[in-house]
Each structure stands twice: as C-alpha cells, then as structure tokens.
C-alpha cells in the first residue's frame, strides 16, 4: 500500500544553509495495518506525511501509494488517500454537509454514490446533528469530525493522520482513536504520526521511532521490546533518542578535530 524508499528532504535555509528534515527514511505499510511514526517535534514526521500526501516533493528517494508515484502521479495518489492533519482546517463559510460533499465531488464521486457515502459517513461519525452548522460556528471536536468525514467520503484505501488528536479533549480524542481502530478493521492502511506514547502503544501494529529525520528503530511493539530489552515504550524512546544525540555529538566533534588537524601545521 505504502512504500517509502530512501526518502530525503532538505530545505534551503537562509541561516543554516541546507537543512535536512528527513534523511534516508524507508518503510512500508500494508492494508489492515496501523503504522505509527513516533517522535518528538521536529523529527520529520509531518514532512514525511506531507510528502505522502504529495504537497511536498522529496529531494531524493521515492514514495509510492497504492503503486502510484507521489512525485509524478500526484492526482492518482491523492485519490487514494484521506489526509487529516492539524494543518488541514475546515472552511468557515461552509456547512459540514457542503464541505463533505464538495470533497466527495472533487474526488470524482457520482451524485448517487456521493449521497450514499455522505449518509454512511455522517452516521458512522455520529454527526447528523451538525450537518447544517457553518464551520465558523463549530467546536474543535466538531471540526475534527468534519475533517475525518471529508477524508473518508471517497472511501480511500489509505488514511493518513498527522497528530490528529492534538488539541482535542479526552472524550473526543478517545472516540477518534476508536474510529481509527474501526477503520483498520475495515481493511484500510493507516499511517499516523504522534508524540503521545499511549496512543502509539494502544493503536499501532508497527512503529517507527523517529528523531531528527532518521528512523532509530522500527517494528512491532513486541519486536522492539525484545530487540532492545526494554519493556516500557517511553523508556525505550528516551534511551534511543539520547543515544542518537550522543552519537551525533561525537561525530560532530570528530569532524571538528579532523578539520583542526588539517589546518594545524
């Protein structure tokens, strides 16, 4: 479903020069599976998900969604995904129903199928009572529901959730995670990013722990626990990250010493 191979993304930065946000990341995710990207802020999770949703272009490497290339076959890829992120808001001057229908039509659904899907999605997400509410009048929870409905309306095989529970209260977050679990049961391939350990532990079939553009560890929770001899995910997470930071620091020092040695007479 999703194949990411040696993905790399760098930006030109006025102060730092080339800044590498994602550095040689590879992973695959299949249907009926929830794949989690777990990492602190700035780990490169959002960048990867934005590349998968084709709004960013990789500097090198490839990513395919349902066999379509994210660089050259953008429209086909976007037809296969539903993307929910804190950056994808709902229109203020549109009602929930109008918004969901609009995206259904953009995804090429016929009017008949659209009606069917809208009914199905509104019923599933229990949002029939907010059909006629304008985006500007919605609460954060309602908005998130509309976003998910918008992502589900064309029944895509792949769903991408980028920090989807951020800013939600416990009740709404819980119901959202329940929805995600249900979607897996329906055979969707789900990829979600989070920095909350509990979410990752509860939901993800497989996980990648990310830090500064690199994947530090990858596999199912059990595999990781076995491989690193650490029962608690949070402990494992901190250990891996501090080890990575130390290694980076050492290599930086090594480079400086080499440079100094070259300059010295």
The residues of the shown chain that bind another protein, judged by CB under 8 A, are: 5-6, 11-15, 17-18, 50, 53-62, 64, 68-69, 71-76, 78-79, 81, 83, 85, 87-94, 102-103, 105-108, 147, 150
d(CA 77, CA 69): 7
72 vs 261, beta carbon nearer another protein: 72
Considering the complex, what minimum distance in angstroms separates the CB of residue 94 from another protein?
A: 7
What are the C-alpha distances in Å from 1 to residues 4, 27, 83, 125, 141? Answer: 10, 11, 15, 25, 30
89 vs 247, beta carbon nearer another protein: 89
The gap from C-alpha 211 to its chain's centroid, in whole angstroms, comes to 15
Helix (H) or strand (E) holding 6: strand 2-13
Considering the complex, what minimum distance in angstroms separates the CB of residue 67 from another protein?
A: 8
19 vs 238, beta carbon nearer another protein: 19
Considering the complex, what minimum distance in angstroms separates the CB of residue 167 from another protein?
A: 12
Considering the complex, what minimum distance in angstroms separates the CB of residue 77 from another protein?
A: 9
93 vs 261, beta carbon nearer another protein: 93
The gap from C-alpha 236 to its chain's centroid, in whole angstroms, comes to 21
Count CB neighbours of 222 within 10 A. 8
Phi, psi of 67 (to 5 degrees): 85, -5
């Amino acid at each position: 479903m999703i194949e990411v191979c040696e993905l790399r993304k760098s930006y030109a930065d006025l102060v730092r020069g080339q800044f590498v946000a994602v550095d040689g990341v590879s992973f695959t995710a299949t249907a009926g599976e929830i794949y989690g990207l777990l990492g602190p802020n700035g780990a490169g999770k959002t960048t990867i998900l934005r590349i998968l949703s084709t709004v960013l272009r990789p500097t090198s490497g490839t990513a395919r969604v349902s066999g379509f290339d994210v660089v050259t076959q953008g429209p086909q890829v976007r037809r296969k995904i539903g993307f929910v992120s804190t950056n994808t808001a709902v229109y203020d001057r549109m009602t929930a129903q109008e918004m969901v229908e609009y995206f259904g039509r953009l995804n090429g659904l016929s009017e008949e199928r659209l009606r069917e899907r809208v009914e199905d999605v509104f019923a599933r997400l229990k949002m029939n009572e907010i059909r006629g509410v304008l985006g500007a009048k919605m609460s954060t929870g309602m908005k998130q529901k509309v976003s998910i409905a918008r992502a589900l309306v064309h029944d895509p095989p792949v769903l991408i959730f980028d920090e989807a529970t951020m800013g939600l209260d416990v009740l709404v977050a819980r119901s959202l995670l329940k929805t995600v679990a249900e979607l897996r049961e329906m055979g969707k391939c789900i990829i979600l990013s989070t920095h909350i350990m509990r979410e990752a532990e509860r939901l993800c079939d497989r996980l990648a722990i990310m830090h500064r553009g690199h994947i530090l560890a990858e596999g199912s929770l059990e595999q990781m626990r076995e491989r690193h001899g650490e029962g608690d995910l949070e402990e494992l997470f901190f250990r891996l990250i501090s080890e990575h930071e130390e290694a980076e620091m050492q290599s930086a020092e090594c480079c400086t010493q080499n440079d100094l040695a070259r300059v010295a007479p």
